[in-house]
Amino acid sequence: VAVSGAAVSGLALAPLLPPALDSYGWRGALLLLAAVSLHLVAAAALLRPPPRTPREPPEPSGTLLRLLRHGPFLRYAAAFALLDLGYYVPFVHGA
């Protein structure tokens, strides 16, 4: 579901980018895309797990460090970061 949102935003951004380039130029259009991405980060911060019931034992401290040492998570995060780096290139340079 999360990855399909990138395809939907790609379909929406493709027709909106040429008018943005005409109106704001390269820098303005890229700033506009950066602002959209920043708003998506704020929306993603609202996606958090539901509160726990008191009967569950608390997770041990250092779970973030343990996650950063987990190989499959690191591969997934690196692949997604590389994919996201080149995501806007076809839209910007295609116009």
Domain boundaries, the chain: 1-49+63-90
End-to-end CA distance of the chain: 28
Average pLDDT (75-88) is: 74
- Please say if the pLDDT value at position 92 is more than 80: no
Entry pTM: 0.48
Q: What is the pLDDT of residues 26-54, one digit of tens each?
A: 899 889 888 887 887 777 777 666 676 66
Taking the C-alpha atoms of residue 62 and residue 52, their distance in angstroms, rounded to an integer, is 18
Is residue 2 over pLDDT 60? no
Round to whole Å and give the CA distance between 95 and 86: 15
Residue 23's pLDDT band, with cuts at 50, 70 and 90, is very high
